[in-house]
C-alpha cells in the first residue's frame, strides 16, 4: 500500500500554495537581479545562482522552525534563507554588503545569508565545513534534551571534503538529530560529479554507516522536496539519529558570476536545464490543476515586483559599514580578575607541579560551571586522562556527558567545539586539540574559521573554546612530537595564545581562558609537566589576566624576553652571570603571546637598553621576530645594541637526543648570546 504524502498539488491548501509561489517568485526575482548590482558597481561581487534548486530550498526553509531548529545554509541557499524568513531587504543588504546586513554587517562575502538571532547560522566560504558545526549543535541539543533538529545544507561536491565524512561519522556514532541536505546539481564549479565520486548519488557513499537514514527526492519538485524534508525532520526527531536528504537538482546558470558554464557545458545540456525550470513547472501545475487562475498568479508576481523595488531602494539608502569599525568584534572582552589584576600572588603553600595545577584547575572550573565540557583523544579512558594524564580523574567525577573521547580526527574535535558553543553562550568547551601540538595541522581549517566567527558575525556569535595543546620539545620526541607551532597560530586575529612556564601561571591562565568568551589556544610545555623547576605554590582561585607579562628576575644591564620552556634556562643564565660578573639581567616571562604585554617589554628596554629574545621555536619566522620588530619600531632610539635572538635552528626537530640538543636552544647558547650583547 502506497503511503499518502502530506503535500501534493491536490491536497495542499490554496493559502499555502500561494505563499510558496510568492516565496519562489521573490527568490527568483532576487536571484536574477543580483548580477545587475555587480554590473553597476554597487556590490554583490559574489553571487551563486540557485535557480534549479527551487524545490529543495523552498522545502528546507518551510520545514525549518526558528524557535526549535538550527539551520546552516551554504552560499547558494538564497531561496532557503527567504523561505526560512529572511526578507527581500535583508537579502539585498547582505548582497551589497551594507551595515544593516543581519548576517554580519557586510563583514562577510555576499551571498552568505544568515540571521543568527533566528538560528540561521553565519557560515564561511569553506565548502561543507559547517557540517561539523551542525554536528556540534546537534550534540548540544541531545545533551540538553532540546526538541529540535539541525539542518545542514550543501552542494554534492562539497561531500568530497574529508571533514564532511568526519561530521557524518560523528553524527551517526553519537546518534544526533542532524539532517544533512545534499543539493546535487551535478557540478562542483566546472568539475562534473563523475570526477568526484564513483557513485551516481553521493549519499550512497555513506550507506554503510549505522543509524543513518538516506532519503532521495527530486529537488526540482516542490511537493517531493517538501515531503522528503518533512520526513527527514520527523525521523530525526523521533529517533535522534541523522538523516541525509539527497536532492536531485539542476544548475540553470553558471556556478557563480565569475564562472562561464558555456565553456564546459554543451548546448544540449544548457537547453535541458532550462526546460526543467522548477519555478515554471510549479506555475504550470497551479494553473493546470485549477488551484490558481492566471490572473491570481499575475497578482502575486506584481506584488513581488513591488516588494523587490521597495527593497532595492532600501538597499541603496542603507548605510555602509564604518571603516573605523574594523577593530570592533575581533575578540570578545576577556574575563576580568578583580583579586589578581596583575596575575601575581604571595601565596606560600605547598608547591605543585605544572600538571597538577592544570588538572586541579580543570576540575575546579567544571565544578564552577556545569555547562563546561571537554573532549579529545584518549582523555577519558578509565584512569587515563590524555596522553599526559592532564585530565586524569575527570570522567569519574563529571561523567561521560561532560568528559568524553573524540575520534582521531582533529578537524572534528575543533569543528564540533565551534558548533556546540553556538547552542548557548553559557557553554564553555575545552578540547585537547591534538595528542601533540604538531598534530594540530589537520584542524587548521576549523581553527582558522573559528578565529573569524566573532568578527564575521559582528559579535553575534562567540566561540567560547579553550584549545589545549601539549607543545614543545626537550623530550626527544622528534617530528610531530616536539615542534612548536605558536609562530604560525599567532598570525591569525581573533584568538588568544598563551604559553605558561610555571604551575601557578598555568592554573591562572587556564581559569581565565575557561571563564572568558572567545577562543584561547593554551600551549602547554609538556617537558615541564612534571619538572620540579616549574613547580610553585598555587592559590586555589588564582587568575592570570591575558596580556600581562611577569618579571621573573629584575635587572638593569640587559632584558631577556622569553616564554615556555626557555624561561627557566634564561633565569638560570641570568643567575650565573650575576655570580660571575655582577651583571643583572632582567627576565620577562611573556605568559601571553596574544595579546602581548608591550608595555612591560618596552619599559624594560628603556631601562636596560639591550634586548635578547629567547624562545624554543625557530628563529626564522618564529614569534620572536614579531617581538624584535616591535622593539625596533617603538624603542629603537633606546637601544645600545641590535636586538638579538636565540631559538631553534631552521631545521626539523631531531628525534635523537644529540640532534635535539643541537637544534633547540639551551643554557650555553643563551649564555653566549647574553655575553655578546653585554660586551657590545
Q: What DSSP string runs through 8-40?
A: -TTTS-HHHHHHHHHHHHHHHHHHHHHHHHHHT
Joined together, the cell numbers standing for residue 154 give 550543501
Cβ contact 429:465 at 8 Å = yes
For residue 192, the surrounding DSSP H or E stretch is strand 191-192
Question: Cα separation of 674 and 680, whole Å?
Answer: 10
By C-alpha distance, which of 165, 617, 543 is closest to 345?
543
Q: What angle separates helix 410-423 from helix 444-456, to the nearest 10 degrees?
A: 20
Q: Is 158 exposed, middle or buried (0-12, 13-18, 19+ CB in 10 A)?
A: buried
Joined together, the cell numbers standing for residue 369 give 560551571
The percent of the chain in helix, strand and coil, each rounded to the nearest 5, is 45, 15, 40
Residue 147 burial (CB count, 10 A): 9
Question: Cα separation of 495 and 255, whole Å?
Answer: 33
Q: Is 481 considered catalytic here?
A: yes
b/e map of 582-614 (b: 16 or more CB within 10 Å)?
A: ebebbbbbbbbbbebbeebbbebbeebbbbbbb
Task: Provide the H-helix boundaries in 40-161.
Answer: 54-63, 78-84, 88-95, 130-143
What phi-psi label fits residue 589: left (phi over 0), alpha (psi between -120 and 50 degrees) or beta? beta
* Active-site hit among 312, 481, 568, 615: 481
Q: Which value, in Å, is the radius of gyration of the alpha carbons in the chain?
A: 29
b/e map of 536-571 (b: 16 or more CB within 10 Å)?
A: bbbbebbbbbbbbbbebbebebbbbbbbbbbbbbbb
- What amino acid positions are annotated as catalytic residues? 481
Amino acid at each position: 500500500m502506497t503511503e499518502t504524502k502530506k503535500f501534493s498539488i491536490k491536497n495542499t491548501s490554496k493559502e499555502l500554495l500561494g505563499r510558496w509561489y510568492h516565496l519562489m517568485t521573490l527568490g527568483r526575482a532576487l536571484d536574477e537581479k543580483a548580477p545587475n548590482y555587480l554590473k553597476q558597481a554597487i556590490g554583490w561581487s559574489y553571487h551563486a545562482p540557485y535557480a534549479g534548486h527551487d524545490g529543495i530550498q523552498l522545502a528546507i526553509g518551510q520545514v525549518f522552525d526558528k524557535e526549535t531548529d538550527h539551520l546552516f545554509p551554504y552560499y547558494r541557499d538564497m531561496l532557503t534563507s527567504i523561505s526560512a524568513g529572511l526578507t527581500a531587504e535583508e537579502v539585498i543588504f547582505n548582497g551589497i554588503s551594507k551595515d544593516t546586513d543581519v548576517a554580519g554587517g557586510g563583514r562577510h562575502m555576499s551571498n552568505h545569508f544568515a540571521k543568527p538571532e533566528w538560528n540561521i547560522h553565519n557560515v564561511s566560504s569553506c565548502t561543507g565545513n559547517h557540517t561539523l558545526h551542525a554536528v556540534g549543535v546537534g550534540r548540544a541539543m541531545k545533551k540538553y534534551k532540546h526538541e529540535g533538529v539541525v539542518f545542514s545544507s550543501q552542494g554534492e561536491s562539497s561531500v568530497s571534503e574529508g571533514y564532511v565524512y568526519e561530521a557524518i561519522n560523528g553524527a551517526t556514532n553519537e546518534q544526533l538529530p542532524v539532517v544533512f541536505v545534499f543539493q546535487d546539481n551535478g557540478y562542483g564549479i566546472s568539475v562534473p560529479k563523475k570526477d568526484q565520486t564513483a557513485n551516481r548519488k553521493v549519499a550512497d557513499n555513506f550507506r554503510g554507516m549505522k543509524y543513518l537514514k538516506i532519503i532521495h527526492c527530486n529537488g526540482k519538485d516542490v511537493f517531493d522536496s517538501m515531503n522528503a524534508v518533512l520526513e527527514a525532520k520527523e525521523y530525526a526527531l523521533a529517533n535522534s539519529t541523522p538523516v541525509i536528504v539527497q536532492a536531485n537538482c539542476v544548475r540553470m546558470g553558471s556556478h557563480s558570476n565569475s564562472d562561464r558554464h558555456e565553456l564546459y557545458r554543451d548546448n544540449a545540456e544548457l537547453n535541458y536545464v532550462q526546460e526543467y525550470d522548477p519555478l515554471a513547472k510549479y506555475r504550470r501545475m497551479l494553473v493546470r490543476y485549477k488551484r490558481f487562475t492566471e490572473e491570481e498568479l499575475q497578482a502575486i508576481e506584481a506584488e513581488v515586483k513591488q516588494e523587490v523595488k521597495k527593497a532595492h531602494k532600501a538597499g541603496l539608502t542603507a548605510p555602509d559599514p564604518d571603516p573605523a569599525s574594523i577593530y570592533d568584534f575581533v575578540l570578545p572582552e576577556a574575563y576580568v580578575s578583580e583579586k589578581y589584576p596583575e596575575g601575581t600572588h604571595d601565596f606560600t603553600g605547598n608547591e605543585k607541579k605544572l600538571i597538577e595545577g592544570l588538572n586541579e584547575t580543570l576540575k575546579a572550573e567544571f565544578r564552577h560551571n556545569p555547562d563546561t565540557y571537554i573532549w579529545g583523544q584518549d582523555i577519558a579512558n578509565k584512569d587515563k586522562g590524555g596522553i599526559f594524564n592532564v585530565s586524569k580523574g575527570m570522567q569519574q567525577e563529571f561523567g561521560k556527558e561532560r568528559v568524553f573521547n573524540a575520534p582521531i580526527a582533529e578537524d572534528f574535535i575543533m569543528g564540533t567545539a565551534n558548533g556546540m558553543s553556538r547552542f548557548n553562550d553559557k557553554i564553555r568547551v575545552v578540547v585537547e586539540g591534538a595528542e601533540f601540538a604538531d598534530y594540530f595541522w589537520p584542524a587548521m581549517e576549523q581553527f582558522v574559521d573559528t578565529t573569524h566567527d566573532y568578527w564575521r558575525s559582528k559579535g553575534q556569535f562567540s566561540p567560547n573554546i579553550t584549545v589545549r595543546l601539549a607543545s614543545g620539545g626537550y623530550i626527544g620526541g622528534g617530528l610531530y612530537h616536539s615542534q612548536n607551532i605558536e609562530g604560525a597560530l599567532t598570525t591569525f586575529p581573533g584568538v588568544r595564545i598563551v604559553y605558561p612556564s610555571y604551575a601557578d601561571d598555568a592554573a591562572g591562565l587556564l581559569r581565565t581562558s575557561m571563564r572568558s568568551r572567545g577562543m584561547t589556544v593554551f600551549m602547554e610545555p609538556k617537558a615541564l609537566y612534571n619538572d620540579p623547576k616549574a613547580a610553585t605554590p598555587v592559590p586555589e582561585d588564582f587568575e592570570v589576566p591575558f596580556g600581562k607579562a611577569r618579571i621573573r628576575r629584575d635587572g638593569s644591564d640587559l632584558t631577556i624576553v622569553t616564554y615556555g620552556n626557555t624561561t627557566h634556562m634564561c633565569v638560570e643564565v641570568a643567575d650565573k652571570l650575576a655570580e660571575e660578573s655582577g651583571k643583572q639581567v632582567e627576565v620577562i616571562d611573556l605568559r601571553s603571546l596574544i595579546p602581548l604585554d608591550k608595555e612591560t617589554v618596552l619599559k624594560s628596554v628603556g631601562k636596560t637598553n639591550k634586548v635578547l629574545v629567547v624562545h624554543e621555536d625557530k628563529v626564522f619566522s618564529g614569534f620572536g621576530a614579531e617581538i624584535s620588530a616591535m622593539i625596533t619600531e617603538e624603542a629603537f632610539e633606546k637601544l645600545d645594541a641590535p636586538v638579538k635572538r636565540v631559538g631553534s635552528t631552521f631545521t626539523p626537530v631531531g628525534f635523537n637526543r644529540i640532534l635535539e640538543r643541537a637544534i633547540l636552544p639551551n643554557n650555553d647558547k643563551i649564555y653566549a648570546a647574553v655575553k655578546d650583547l653585554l660586551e657590545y
